[in-house]
Amino acid sequence: MKIASLKASLALATIFALMPLAPAFAHTGTGTSAGLLSGFMHPITGVDHLVAMVAVGLWGAQLGNPAIWILPIAFPLVMAIGGLFGVSGFDLPFTEIMIAISGIALGLAVAMNIRPPLWVAALLVSVFAVFHGYAHGRELPEAADPLAFGVGFVVATGLLHLCGIVIGVLTRWPAGAQLVRASGAAIGAIGGYFLLSAMGLVA
Amino acid sequence: MKKGTLIRAIAAALALVAAPASADAHLINTTLGDFYGGVLHPLSGPEDVVPWFALAVLASIQDSRNARWLLFVFPISLVGGALLSVVAPALSISPAWNLAVIVVTGLAVAAAAKLPFPVFVGLGTLIALLHGYHNGQAMTQDTDRLLFICGVAAVGYVFVTLITALAISFLQGGMEWRLIALRASGSWVAAVGVIMIGLQLRTSAM
């Protein structure tokens, strides 16, 4: 009993001793960390971006090799071109509408299990990538640390693709494939809401 | 594990954790402050870390000869760049160079390109020279230059070596998706570089 009690006390003491005492920072929202965090959160907190990015991964997984890796590798590179437009102050029209349409189109592609030739899929995704990149790029010059902001939003975009690909692994099973298609339909519906919103038809 | 061994292990852990050590708020008193300054300077922002990461991943894709030479050339070139900043502190090196090497290195990773030996080592040398120079410019008159430069070279060597080793180990699993994951990270790096070039052009134009 005594040894058990001693062991428990020692274990507890070890845990407390190992707890890091973190310093309290009065100003955390500046510089690199703020830039990285705001960039990282930009695609995640924007649901219209989020669903489209996940849909790219889902569609890639549905289409299989080589689309599963070509789409997520091509997307950031083409998105960077859209980012260039945004950073340079170029006025790209219909950005919000096109981002909403990307959700609808990619969601429907997943829901209906559409299997176009690879170049068509890559072209479609690339066109949408330009508009998503443009929206991120517009925010970049205002960021606390533009480079960190860029790293943040590119990494978040890539991780959202990865989420889609991981969910898309379910397509190996019949029930999972149905679930993935249902997810595509949900993404399309969310895209529809954002389209109506961008057109000012819903609040 | 026996009870006695467990108690001894916990006692040893406690002794280690509770070992009294002086808290040096100002590392300059330890005479190693500028070494740590050199170590931390490249890690304090993504400007150095992002291209170093891409270069190390690129090294893991190359053959072993290329990768080994990088580990030798990279820290020496960092020292060379930092020394150049001491000798010629006012060189006007366009930031576009730094951004261009980010794009090139990222694209090479995305394409899983096996570069010829001189091209790969040349790329590593160029990155290290540019970053050594940039980091060296952070030294002030009061900085112990030897310690600071040693710190920059040490962190560059450790960072590139560790990431290269991790990436090689990751690839040794043999599954195709592992190389795809590394290639995707290259496309991320290239994308960041392209966008930053745009920002640089905008800043220059204003």
Of B75, B67, B77, nearest in space to B165 by CA: B67
Structure tokens at A85: 């437009």
B175 phi, psi to nearest 5 deg = -80, 145
pLDDT of residue B196: 83
Of B70, B68, B47, nearest in space to B132 by CA: B47
- The verdict on residue A193 lying in a domain is yes
pLDDT of residue B31: 60
Return all residues near A18 (Cβ < 8 A) that are at least 6 apart: B17
pLDDT of residue A28: 46
Cis peptide before B118 (omega within 30 of 0): no
pLDDT of residue A27: 46
- The verdict on residue A145 lying in a domain is yes
Of B38, B21, B111, nearest in space to A69 by CA: B111
Domain boundaries defined on chain B: 30-205
- The verdict on residue A127 lying in a domain is yes
Summarised one tens digit per residue, pLDDT across range A13-37 is 676 666 655 555 454 445 667 778 8
Structure tokens at A36: 């990285």
pLDDT of residue B32: 67
- The verdict on residue A71 lying in a domain is yes
Portion of chain A with pLDDT greater than 90, in percent: 31
Summarised one tens digit per residue, pLDDT across range B174-193 is 777 788 888 888 998 999 88
Interchain proximity B194–A81, CB inside 8 Å: yes
Q: Is A137 on the interface with B (CB under 8 A)?
A: yes
Summarised one tens digit per residue, pLDDT across range A159-203 is 998 899 888 888 888 888 899 999 999 999 999 999 998 888 877
Q: State CA A54 to chain mean position distance.
A: 6
Please answer whether residues B39 and B89 qualify as being in contact, where contact means their C-beta atoms are separated by less than 8 angstroms. Answer: no
Rg (C-alpha) for chain A, rounded Å, is 22
Query: What's the rounded Cα separation, in Å, for the pair B83 and B136?
Result: 7
Interchain proximity B46–A7, CB inside 8 Å: no
Query: What's the rounded Cα separation, in Å, for the pair A21 and A19?
Result: 6
Chain B residue closest in CA terms to A78: B191
CA torsion, points A192, A193, A195, A200, in degrees to nearest 10?
Answer: 150
Number of Cβ within 10 Å of residue B24's Cβ equals: 11
Return all residues near A176 (Cβ < 8 A) that are at least 6 apart: A169, A170
Q: Which single residue is written with the structure tokens 């291209």? A: B51
- The verdict on residue A83 lying in a domain is yes
Please answer whether residues A79 and A129 qualify as being in contact, where contact means their C-beta atoms are separated by less than 8 angstroms. Answer: yes
Count: domains in chain A: 1
Rg (C-alpha) for chain B, rounded Å, is 20
Which of A29-38, A53-62, A150-159 has the least mean pLDDT?
A: A29-38
Interchain proximity A151–B192, CB inside 8 Å: yes
Q: Across the interface, which of A6, A18, A151 has its CB nearest the CB of B50?
A: A151
Q: Is B146 exposed, middle or buried (0-12, 13-18, 19+ CB in 10 A)?
A: exposed
Rounded to 10 deg, the angle between the A146-168 and A31-45 helix axes is 40
Domain that holds residue A189: 47-198
Please answer whether residues B149 and B38 qualify as being in contact, where contact means their C-beta atoms are separated by less than 8 angstroms. Answer: yes
Portion of chain A with pLDDT greater than 70, in percent: 87
Q: Over range A31-44, report the average pLDDT.
A: 80
- In a mutational test of the B interface, the residue from A147, A149, A153, A157 whose CB has the highest number of chain B CBs within 10 Å is A147
Q: Which residues of chain B have pLDDT under 50?
A: none
How many residues would you count in chain B? 206
Number of Cβ within 10 Å of residue A134's Cβ equals: 23
Query: What's the rounded Cα separation, in Å, for the pair A86 and B199?
Result: 9
Return all residues near A169 (Cβ < 8 A) that are at least 6 apart: A61, A176
**What b/e sequence results for A153-178 when a residue is b if at least 16 CB atoms lie within 10 Å of its CB, and e otherwise?**
bbbbbbbbbbebbebbebbeeeeeee
- In a mutational test of the A interface, the residue from B188, B189, B200 whose CB has the highest number of chain A CBs within 10 Å is B188
Q: Which residue has the higher pLDDT, A141 or A118?
A: A118
**DSSP reduced 3-state for A21:** coil
pLDDT of residue B129: 94
Query: What's the rounded Cα separation, in Å, for the pair A101 and A106?
Result: 8
Q: Is B44 on the interface with A (CB under 8 A)?
A: yes
Q: Over range A75-86, report the average pLDDT.
A: 87
Average pLDDT, chain A: 84
Q: Which residue has the higher pLDDT, A193 or A139?
A: A193
Interchain proximity A87–B202, CB inside 8 Å: yes
